């Protein structure tokens, strides 16, 4: 399968070529048992033998925690029964995704590389002293939290945050952390800023962190809160789980209750429980190359016992030196392609690294690229690398990995100004084919770069299509959602749904975007505060969900008579290429940003905002509304 290093020679003078495809599947599975789950998934792309071995239940059984049936019970709502319908690989993949607890205020998941259970507890699931008094505390929406909001302390005398969780953790040692931030983070003109006006009182006395468990374990630490402007994981302590089938109750807190001075300017995001020693994903792609390198040589020895591997022996010392030089590089992120020119300088008898690996192994390695900048660096290494990457469409593979909606493209074309970019008539078919490959590479690389770009973007909504209902048309129509101000000419400006007795009746707002092909990264919504009613209530929804897609037939703009033609917003008239998860809306009169899990390529330019669940009832008619 393209593994040049697995060439062996017999002692009788005869020669035969063997590859990784000749390796027995059980032998490949035995190798995979010694690897991490992420490395197993990478090696599954190598060939059919490793792909089959990577799907074996006994391989993933060893990676799952002992109480995986209990964990799957939160997904299936029936503990330990229906998970048997799934393969162990599918169970592991599902448990690696966040699983909500406590109405979305808690999450747990498996760490992909080690299989350890991690948990996050949101600030709304913590008991915070004075949280109900807005003079002291307030919930602030932010994209810097996995729960999309944090608790912000303006000023208080008695600071205390207490949490509790009861869960069946797998056997092992766990560490508990508080994620805190001095100052209020926000964004201005697309840049992150931190307001430190309220930060005070944390340098007088240290904060006290405590942890206790139901089986008598305790831990206490103290530290001063400093480092304003950055999120800091403050370690509370460790606890040990000895039985995975019995729930353990963990109580934890952070306090600074010296009432001789006030404290303020602190953001409380959440509490985290990680397996002890967890450091995140720090290993790089070069480790996978080392694994491939060792497995290829091992397979050659296994297939022909007692034979002489002359080519492998000749290049082994040089390879060891080169890979050790790569591993000593201090930057472990994107280590491979920053040092690729050095790799290509190794040339034994006219062979470069691509020829040594072979097309199949090289394809498996290049498929691990997850950033367009790395792909561009790889194409700049040499002519052979550039030709291999462009002809095999790696830019399209990467773009499709970052944005699956790209797979909907049937054809692409580069538009050039008139009189430029003409093709000579005498060009051969191979030259024309190479030009097409280069054009595809250029376009898909450009799209990928925009997908990972962090530059600020502008609003991309062009006009409104319609709302599912409107209370008073046109005074409270959907057109008012374009106006950022709450008042226009001393008159309130907002959209209001029709009243409903059932608070579960959803509402929707449909918009046309500025282009038929648009990247959507985040959507902002601000609930309206009825300042003209007693108590200034906020008529917000509980959750919000977004749909992106295109219309099944062309609808002229002149037909958009708002609320006059409700058939225009019916789902049967659209094809939704993306449906977001449900986001929790805060019952506050602030602009709330809902960041999508990844940048979405909206093909067709139609956005539908679904508002799910009603909270506020109007006193006049005793009906539920969304404003």
pLDDT at 253 over 90: yes
Q: Dump pLDDT digits (tens) for 567-587.
A: 677 878 888 888 888 888 888
Q: What is the pLDDT of residue 338?
A: 34
- Distance of alpha carbon 195 from alpha carbon 190, whole angstroms: 15
Q: Dump pLDDT digits (tens) for 356-392.
A: 777 887 888 888 888 888 888 888 888 888 888 888 8
Chain centroid, CA 74 distance in Å: 21
The pLDDT-based confidence of 444 (bands split at 50, 70, 90) is confident
pLDDT at 551 over 50: yes
Q: What is the pLDDT of residue 164?
A: 95
pLDDT at 98 over 60: yes
The pLDDT-based confidence of 84 (bands split at 50, 70, 90) is low
**Environment class of residue 157 by beta-carbon count within 10 Å: exposed (0-12), middle (13-18) or buried (19+)?**
middle
Q: Dump pLDDT digits (tens) for 391-426.
A: 888 888 888 888 777 776 777 776 665 555 555 555
Nearest CA among 563, 463, 477, 470 for reference residue 513: 463
pLDDT at 465 over 90: no
Mean pLDDT of 180-195: 87
The pLDDT-based confidence of 82 (bands split at 50, 70, 90) is very low
pLDDT at 458 over 70: no
Which phi and psi (to 5°) does residue 133 adopt? -100, 115
Q: What is the pLDDT of residue 555?
A: 59
Q: What is the pLDDT of residue 289?
A: 42
Q: What count of residues does the chain have? A: 627
pLDDT at 531 over 90: no
Least confident of 8-12, 59-63, 554-558: 8-12
Q: Which run of H or of E encompasses 583?
A: strand 583-584
Q: Dump pLDDT digits (tens) for 204-245.
A: 888 999 999 999 999 988 888 988 888 999 999 999 999 888
Structure letter (DSSP) for residue 85: G
Q: What is the pLDDT of residue 415?
A: 67
pLDDT over 90, % of the chain: 22
pLDDT at 589 over 50: yes
pLDDT at 306 over 50: no
- Distance of alpha carbon 367 from alpha carbon 113, whole angstroms: 19
Q: What is the pLDDT of residue 323?
A: 33
pLDDT at 130 over 50: yes
Q: Dump pLDDT digits (tens) for 489-499.
A: 777 888 888 88
Least confident of 34-43, 304-313, 615-624: 304-313
Is residue 218 within 8 A of residue 132, CB to CB? The reply is no
On average, the pLDDT of the chain sits at 77
Q: What is the pLDDT of residue 171?
A: 92
**DSSP conformation letters of 335-403:** HHHHSHHHHHT--BTTB-HHHHHHHHHHHHHHTT---HHHHHHHHTT-HHHHHHHHHTTHHHHHHHHH-
Q: Dump pLDDT digits (tens) for 318-330.
A: 333 333 333 333 3
Q: What is the pLDDT of residue 167?
A: 94
Mean pLDDT of 338-364: 56
Q: What is the pLDDT of residue 313?
A: 32
Say which residues have a Cβ less than 8 Å from residue 519's Cβ, sequence separation at least 6.
450, 451, 457, 599, 600, 601, 602
Mean pLDDT of 427-455: 78
Mean pLDDT of 614-618: 88
pLDDT over 70, % of the chain: 77
Q: Which run of H or of E encompasses 28?
A: helix 25-32
Mean pLDDT of 118-146: 92
> Which segments of 304-339 does DSSP mark as H helices, in order?
310-327, 335-338
**Environment class of residue 495 by beta-carbon count within 10 Å: exposed (0-12), middle (13-18) or buried (19+)?**
buried
Chain centroid, CA 38 distance in Å: 16
**DSSP conformation letters of 185-200:** EEEETTEEEEE-TT-B
Q: What is the pLDDT of residue 439?
A: 86
Mean pLDDT of 289-306: 37
Mean pLDDT of 335-361: 51
Instruction: List domains and CATH numbers for the chain.
Output: 103-114+117-275 (2.60.120.260), 369-413+429-456 (no CATH), 461-624 (2.60.120.260)
Q: What is the pLDDT of residue 257?
A: 87
Is residue 93 within 8 A of residue 131, CB to CB? The reply is no
């Amino acid at each position: 399968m393209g593994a040049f290093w697995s060439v062996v020679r017999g002692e009788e003078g005869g020669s035969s070529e063997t590859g990784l495809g000749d390796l027995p599947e059980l032998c490949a599975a035995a190798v995979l048992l010694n690897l991490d789950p992420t490395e197993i998934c990478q090696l599954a792309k190598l060939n059919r033998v490793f792909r089959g071995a990577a799907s074996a239940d006994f391989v993933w059984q060893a990676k799952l925690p002992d109480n995986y049936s209990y964990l799957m019970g939160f997904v299936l709502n029936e503990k330990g029964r229906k998970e048997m319908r799934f393969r162990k690989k599918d169970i592991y993949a599902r448990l690696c995704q966040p699983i909500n607890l406590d109405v979305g205020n808690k999450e747990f998941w498996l760490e992909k590389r080690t299989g350890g259970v991690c948990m996050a507890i949101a600030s709304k699931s913590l008991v915070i002293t004075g949280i109900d008094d807005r003079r002291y505390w307030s919930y602030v929406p932010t994209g810097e939290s996995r729960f999309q909001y944090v608790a912000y302390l303006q000023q208080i005398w008695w600071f205390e945050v207490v949490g509790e969780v009861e869960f069946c953790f797998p056997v092992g040692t766990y560490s508990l952390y508080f994620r805190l931030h001095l100052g209020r983070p926000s964004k201005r003109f697309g840049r992150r800023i931190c307001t430190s006006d309220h930060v005070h009182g944390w340098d007088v006395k240290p904060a006290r962190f405590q942890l206790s468990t139901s089986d008598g374990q305790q831990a206490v630490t103290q530290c001063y809160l400093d480092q304003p402007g950055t999120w800091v994981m403050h370690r509370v302590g460790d606890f040990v789980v000895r039985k995975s089938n019995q729930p353990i109750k963990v109580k934890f807190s952070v306090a600074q209750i010296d009432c001789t001075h006030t404290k303020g300017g602190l953001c409380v995001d959440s509490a985290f429980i990680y397996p002890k020693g967890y450091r995140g994903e720090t290993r790089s792609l070069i480790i996978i190359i080392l694994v491939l390198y060792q497995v290829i040589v091992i397979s050659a020895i296994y297939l022909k016992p007692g034979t002489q591997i002359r080519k492998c022996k000749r290049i082994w010392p040089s390879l060891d030196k080169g890979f050790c030089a790569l591993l000593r590089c201090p930057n472990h992120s994107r280590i491979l392609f920053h040092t690729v020119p050095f790799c290509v300088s190794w040339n034994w008898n006219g062979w470069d690294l691509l020829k040594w690996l072979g097309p199949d192994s090289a394809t498996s390695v290049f498929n691990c690229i997850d950033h367009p900048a790395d792909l561009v660096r790889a194409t700049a290494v040499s002519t052979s690398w550039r030709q291999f990457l462009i002809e095999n469409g790696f830019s399209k593979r990467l773009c499709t990995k970052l944005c699956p909606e790209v797979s909907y493209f049937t054809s692409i074309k580069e538009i050039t100004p008139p009189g430029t970019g003409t093709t000579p008539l005498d060009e051969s078919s191979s030259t024309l084919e190479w030009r097409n490959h280069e054009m595809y590479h250029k376009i898909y690389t450009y799209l990928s770069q925009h997908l990972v770009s962090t530059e600020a973007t502008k609003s991309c909504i062009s006009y409104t299509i319609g709302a599912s209902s409107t209370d008073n048309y046109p005074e409270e129509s959907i057109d008012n959602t374009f106006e950022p101000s709450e008042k226009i000419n001393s008159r309130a400006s907002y959209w209001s749904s029709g009243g409903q007795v059932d608070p579960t009746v959803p509402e929707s707002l449909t918009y046309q975007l500025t282009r038929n092909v648009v990247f959507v990264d985040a959507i902002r919504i601000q609930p309206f505060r009825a300042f003209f009613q007693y108590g200034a209530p906020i008529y917000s929804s509980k959750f919000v969900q977004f749909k992106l897609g295109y219309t099944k037939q062309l609808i002229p703009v002149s037909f958009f008579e708002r609320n006059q033609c409700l058939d225009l917003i019916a789902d049967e008239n659209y094809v939704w290429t993306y449906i977001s998860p449900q986001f929790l809306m805060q019952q506050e009169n602030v602009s709330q940003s809902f960041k999508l899990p990844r940048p979405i390529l909206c093909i067709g330019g139609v956005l539908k905002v679904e508002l799910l669940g009603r909270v506020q009832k109007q006193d006049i008619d005793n009906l539920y509304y969304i404003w």
